[in-house]
Amino acid sequence: MEDKREPQSKPRILIVEDEAFVAVMLADMLEELGYEVAASVSQVSQAREFLADGNVDIALLDVKLGNETIDPVADLLAERRCPFIFTTGYGQDGVPAAYANRKVLQKPFQINELAAALREQIGPAH
């Protein structure tokens, strides 16, 4: 008997990262893991603008974007009960105090660490 169900859509991920090379690497890793990159932005204002119209299943947030902190984006996602993972070279110490209990990926991280963090937060890609 043929399965007539719609294939499940890939989980959509927002990348907020100001280092272009890191953003491209993250997008490549996510696609390899079977996730969809909904958007990749480098500024808090761009993330807020995207989130005004777009929905995501999870976000990857660089803690420091130039001289901006990620707090406004984290606050918006937390209000929506949308999961997010911090990506930072500063470790847990770089995370905003209000979100000290959130998942952190210490840069540089490997694809298997990213995959495990995403599975922990939203389940498998397929």
Q: Could you name the CATH architecture of 12-110?
A: 3-Layer(aba) Sandwich (3.40)
pLDDT, residue 91, reads: 82
Question: Any idea which residue has 């984006």 for tokens?
Answer: 73
User: pLDDT averaged over consecutive 10-residue blocks of the chain (126 residues)?
Assistant: 56 97 97 96 97 94 93 96 94 88 94 97 83
pLDDT computed for residue 8 by the predictor: 64
pTM of this structure:
0.91
How many angstroms separate the Cα of 101 from the Cα of each of 31, 62, 82, 122? 27, 16, 15, 16
What per-residue confidence (pLDDT) applies to 4? 47
